[in-house]
């Protein structure tokens, strides 16, 4: 094993990393010293990165890991401080990579925060520390200024409760406005701006407002087409996009990783803490902390490609529809694919990829090994089922972030066990759709056991109103139809939350909810005091038994034939 020291000297460490990487041969370790390294984009390597669920583009990279085999980056507790637009770690076509014992932060994060000093029907006054979050007011808009970038507010503001440091009760995106194209602003004094809008949900004085004013350009760790990656004792205080995003990878472990704010910030990374797209083998999250990120804790899914044209008996033109999926590979020759109707999501035929020719980031010509089904028409979707993973999350804590905790869409073996989860939306969401996000992956084997669910679903309604939400985007579920999801066991968990709704499930064949102990808290006023604990639609082979409420056995009942609209709200 070759040992290469990354010297801890003043100035930009980026060129020194490049020198270290040149020295790497198979089986090397780059050793950092315990201390603070600084990285700027100027002399960083550049690569056009198509990173799923983030923005694609030409990116500077501090640790560009291409075609590395058996490489360990031993951090020794080093703090890696980034300046401006740069991706800390990007790995492609690598194998046996370990990144260990280091922390990632930015001096000037890509997002800003302030504290509410007043709020009324006409707007909200926010005091912003201009040293930490430089900005200017320009033509009625607030423009935040960073190191090498400037950005007007366009991507939402989010209220965080000063006491809980979690999203404020019932306060959704942009205080209920969603994502308006712009919010008018006026300067009140040198450190205070007034957001001029009639916000549906007024924040309280003292609440923090987080301004998301930057696209998902700079994730902290992005992994593509790589095998056996271990991230251990890695702390991500911030990133200008997701924390860890892996696509078309095999066997990825996050062990004792922490996504958590630094200093006085109430936000950590700018989007999901972790995200796995078309990965295979095993994904394991062990003893991790995911808090205060501006989107979900974890999302595991495949991608449905839409059929744009059927060109001949064996060839289709496929489309990566969502712009954050553009440029993500379709698959390799030999990969198994299934075709599904985009309204029912149910797959009706399988096939094998013979060849893929990318036309551009959006379209690809895919030749199949066998004749296509005659029912295949434009609008239907194709899913690559050779790239799906087993998933385990054990001993993790997920809390205080915007939106949900775990989004699970994979047919592999899924185990969520011994986790502490409290989200302003659903703690666990098992979905699937073929019309907007195009995130695929009907589940086949899910065990949710021994987790401790805290207060959930106190945020915006679209984030979920049931602690566990199984809600594939299917138009209708009828009796006798095949079900989309299968075999989900929710057993021996504790639920301690303020609202009664624990489980929403649609189109599941084989659902167990048993051995769970339920406690009602008083943390927040109930949002839907009369909601049933369990709501089902189009589910078969359901077992609900042996659950307790406040220590007493309770008969949790479920309505198995609620109308669609009632279920989805």
Binding site for a second copy (CB under 8 A): 18, 42-46, 48, 56-58, 60, 139, 182, 317, 359-363
CA–CA gap between residue 196 and residue 258 (Å, rounded): 36
- Indicate the residue among 139 and 552 with the shorter CB distance to a second copy: 139
CA–CA gap between residue 399 and residue 290 (Å, rounded): 7
- Of residues 274, 285, 296, 268, the one with CA closest to residue 103: 268
- Indicate the residue among 362 and 449 with the shorter CB distance to a second copy: 362
Neighbours of 520 (CB within 10 A): 15
- Indicate the residue among 57 and 373 with the shorter CB distance to a second copy: 57
- Indicate the residue among 225 and 362 with the shorter CB distance to a second copy: 362
Give the alpha-carbon dihedral of 80, 81, 82, 88, to 10 degrees: 20
What 3-state DSSP class applies to 225?
coil
φ, ψ for residue 347, nearest 5 deg: -75, 145
CA–CA gap between residue 97 and residue 124 (Å, rounded): 47
Q: How far is the CB of 100 from a second copy (least distance, A)?
A: 27
- Indicate the residue among 64 and 219 with the shorter CB distance to a second copy: 64
Residues 58 and 51: beta-carbon distance below 8 Å: no
Which phi-psi region, left, alpha or beta, contains residue 362 (left: φ > 0; alpha: ψ -120 to 50)? Answer: alpha
What 3-state DSSP class applies to 295?
coil
> Residue 568: which H helix or E strand, with range?
helix 564-568
Q: How far is the CB of 48 from a second copy (least distance, A)?
A: 5
Q: How far is the CB of 423 from a second copy (least distance, A)?
A: 36
Mode of pairing for the β-strands spanning 28-32 and 69-82: parallel
- Half-sphere exposure of residue 453: CA atoms within 13 angstroms, side-chain side: 35
Residues 102 and 32: beta-carbon distance below 8 Å: yes
- Indicate the residue among 285 and 321 with the shorter CB distance to a second copy: 321
Q: How far is the CB of 436 from a second copy (least distance, A)?
A: 20
- Indicate the residue among 177 and 496 with the shorter CB distance to a second copy: 177
- Indicate the residue among 15 and 176 with the shorter CB distance to a second copy: 15
What 3-state DSSP class applies to 17?
helix
> Residue 105: which H helix or E strand, with range?
strand 95-106
Q: How far is the CB of 174 from a second copy (least distance, A)?
A: 17
Residues 205 and 119: beta-carbon distance below 8 Å: yes
- Indicate the residue among 182 and 377 with the shorter CB distance to a second copy: 182
Q: How far is the CB of 46 from a second copy (least distance, A)?
A: 3
Length of the chain, in residues: 569
Q: How far is the CB of 401 from a second copy (least distance, A)?
A: 32
Q: How far is the CB of 240 from a second copy (least distance, A)?
A: 18
Q: How far is the CB of 187 from a second copy (least distance, A)?
A: 18
CA–CA gap between residue 400 and residue 424 (Å, rounded): 7
Q: How far is the CB of 360 from a second copy (least distance, A)?
A: 3
Q: How far is the CB of 315 from a second copy (least distance, A)?
A: 12
Q: How far is the CB of 323 from a second copy (least distance, A)?
A: 12
- Indicate the residue among 27 and 46 with the shorter CB distance to a second copy: 46
- Indicate the residue among 19 and 129 with the shorter CB distance to a second copy: 19
- Of residues 93, 46, 31, 261, the one with CA closest to residue 166: 261
- Indicate the residue among 32 and 44 with the shorter CB distance to a second copy: 44
Residues 183 and 197: beta-carbon distance below 8 Å: yes
What 3-state DSSP class applies to 174?
helix
- Of residues 401, 106, 41, 408, the one with CA closest to residue 239: 106
Angstrom CA distances, 408 to 9, 374, 431, 468, 470, stand at 43, 31, 7, 11, 10
CA–CA gap between residue 66 and residue 504 (Å, rounded): 43
């Amino acid at each position: 094993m070759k040992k290469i020291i990354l010297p801890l000297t003043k100035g930009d460490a980026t060129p020194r990393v490049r020198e270290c990487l040149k020295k790497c041969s198979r089986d090397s370790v780059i050793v950092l010293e315990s201390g603070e390294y600084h990285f700027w984009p100027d002399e960083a390597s550049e690569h056009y990165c198509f990173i799923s669920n983030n923005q694609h583009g030409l990116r500077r990279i501090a640790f560009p890991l291409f075609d590395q085999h058996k490489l360990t980056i031993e951090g020794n507790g080093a703090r890696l401080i980034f300046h401006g637009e740069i991706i800390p770690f990007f790995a492609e076509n690598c194998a046996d990579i370990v990144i260990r014992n280091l922390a990632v932060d930015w001096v000037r994060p890509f997002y800003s925060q302030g504290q509410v000093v007043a709020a009324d029907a006409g707007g909200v006054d926010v005091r912003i520390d201009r040293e930490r979050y430089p900005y200017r007011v320009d033509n009625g808009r607030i423009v935040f200024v960073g190191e090498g970038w400037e950005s007007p507010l366009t991507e939402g503001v989010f209220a965080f409760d000063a006491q809980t440091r979690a999203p404020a009760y019932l306060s959704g995106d942009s205080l209920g406005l969603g994502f308006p194209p712009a919010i008018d602003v006026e300067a009140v004094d040198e450190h205070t701006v007034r957001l001029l809008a009639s916000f549906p949900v007024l924040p309280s004085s003292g609440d923090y407002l987080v301004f998301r004013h930057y696209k998902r350009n700079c994730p902290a760790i992005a992994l593509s087409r790589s095998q056996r990656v271990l991230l251990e004792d890695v702390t991500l205080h911030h990133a200008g996009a997701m924390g860890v995003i892996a696509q078309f990878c095999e066997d990825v472990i996050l062990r004792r990783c922490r996504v958590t704010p630094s200093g006085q910030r109430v936000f950590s990374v700018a989007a999901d803490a972790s995200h796995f797209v078309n990965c295979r083998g095993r994904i394991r999250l062990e003893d991790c902390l995911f808090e205060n990120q501006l989107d979900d804790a974890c999302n595991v899914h495949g991608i449905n490609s839409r059929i744009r044209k059927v060109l001949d008996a064996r060839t289709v033109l496929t489309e990566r529809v969502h712009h954050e999926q553009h440029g993500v590979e379709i698959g390799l020759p030999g990969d198994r694919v299934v075709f599904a109707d985009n309204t029912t999501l149910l797959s009706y035929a399988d096939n094998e990829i013979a060849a893929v020719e990318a036309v551009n980031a959006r379209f690809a010509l895919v030749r199949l090994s066998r004749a296509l089904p005659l029912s295949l028409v434009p609008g239907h979707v194709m899913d690559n089922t050779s790239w799906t993973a087993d998933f385990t999350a054990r001993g993790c804590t997920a809390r205080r972030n915007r939106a949900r905790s775990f989004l699970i869409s994979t047919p592999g073996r899924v185990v969520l066990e011994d986790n502490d989860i409290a989200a302003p939306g659903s703690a666990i969401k098992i979905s699937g759709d073929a019309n907007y996000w195009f995130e695929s992956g009907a589940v086949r084997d899910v065990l949710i056991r021994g987790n401790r669910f805290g207060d959930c679903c106190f945020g915006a309604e679209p984030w979920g109103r049931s602690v566990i939400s199984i809600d594939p985007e299917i138009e209708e579920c009828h009796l006798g139809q095949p079900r989309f999801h299968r075999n989900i066991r929710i057993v021996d968990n504790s639920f301690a939350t303020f609202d009664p709704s624990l489980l929403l499930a649609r189109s599941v064949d084989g659902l167990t909810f048993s051995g769970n102990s339920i406690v009602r808290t008083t943390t927040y006023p109930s949002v839907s005091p009369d909601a049933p604990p369990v709501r089902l639609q189009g589910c078969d082979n359901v077992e609900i038994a042996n659950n307790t409420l406040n220590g007493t056995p309770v008969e949790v009942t479920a309505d198995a034939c609620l109308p669609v609209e009632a279920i989805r709200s």
